[in-house]
Amino acid sequence: MTAFIILAILAIVGALGVVVARQPVHSALFLVANILSLAILYLLLSAEFLAVAQVIVYAGAIMVLFLFVVTLLTAGKEEGEPKEQLEGQRWIAGVLAVGVGIALAVLAIHHPGRAIASGLPHNFGNLHGMGLLLWGPDFLYVGAIALMLVTAAIGVLVLNRPVRRQAPRPQRRNEA
């Protein structure tokens, strides 16, 4: 109980710090503190694989990329938002995002995780138990998330495709 209270306070302070801090790098650091305290909370819930995945993926990779961008951005001056290249993509993206959210919710209601029906297996939370659940009865979720991630990757490629410009005609120079 004491451990939970201490970790909860740390997590809340971290979350508040993200919003309150003036300096983007400080915000990122508060977020890291939040992520790490959440990881230890997972550990207390005997979800050890989730805890380690939280540290490796969020604290170790995503937040480092975040810091990479933030340190680069705060070093130079800010620029205005670039002009949108795809007309109306924000609206379509919003509608589609809501649709996907509804689809996921329906999926969760109709096919709840197998562990809810059958009770927790004895090895729940460690690598073995987690893998058996995810790649066995609950594979639907892995598939859904894989689809979303692939969409995100394709989206990045589309948004960052090189701008096609009318190249100015090279003028022939008279070398007389």
Partner 1 sequence: MIGNVLLVVKILVLIAILMTGFAYTMLVERRFLGFFQLRLGPNRVGPGGLLQPLADGLKMALKEDLMPNGADPMVYRIAPVLSLFAALSVDAVIPFGAPIHLFGQTINLDIANPSIGLLIAFAFSSLGIYGLVLGGWASQNKYSLLGGIRASAQMISYELAMGLSVLGVLMMAGTANLEHIVYAQQARGWFIIPQVIPFVIYFITAIAETNRTPFDLPEAESELVAGYHTEYSGIRFAMYIIAEYINMLTVSGLAVTLFLGGWLGPSFLPPILWFVIKVALLVFVFIWIRATYPRFRYDKLMSFGWKVLLPISFLYFLGTAAFVSGLL
Name, in order, each residue with C-beta under 8 angstroms of 47's C-beta and a sequence gap of 6 or more: 124, 125
Residue type, 156: V
Where does this chain touch partner 1 (CB under 8 A) — which range of 25-33, 94-102, 140-148, 152-160? 25-33
Residue type, 8: A
- What values do phi and psi take at 170, rounded to 5? -65, 130
Q: Please tell me whether residue 166 adopts helix, strand or coil conformation.
A: coil
Site membership for partner 1, residue 48 (CB under 8 A):
yes
**What's the CA gap between 130 and 120, in Å, rounded?**
11
Q: 13 or 104: whose CB is closer to partner 1? A: 13
Site membership for partner 1, residue 23 (CB under 8 A):
yes
Where does this chain touch partner 1 (CB under 8 A) — which range of 13-21, 70-78, 113-121, 143-151? 70-78
Where does this chain touch partner 1 (CB under 8 A) — which range of 49-57, 99-107, 109-117, 165-173? 49-57
CB atoms within 10 A of CB 26: 14
Which residues in this chain contact partner 1 in the complex, by CB under 8 A?
23, 25-26, 29, 32, 48-49, 52-53, 55-56, 59-61, 64-65, 67-68, 71-72, 75, 126-127
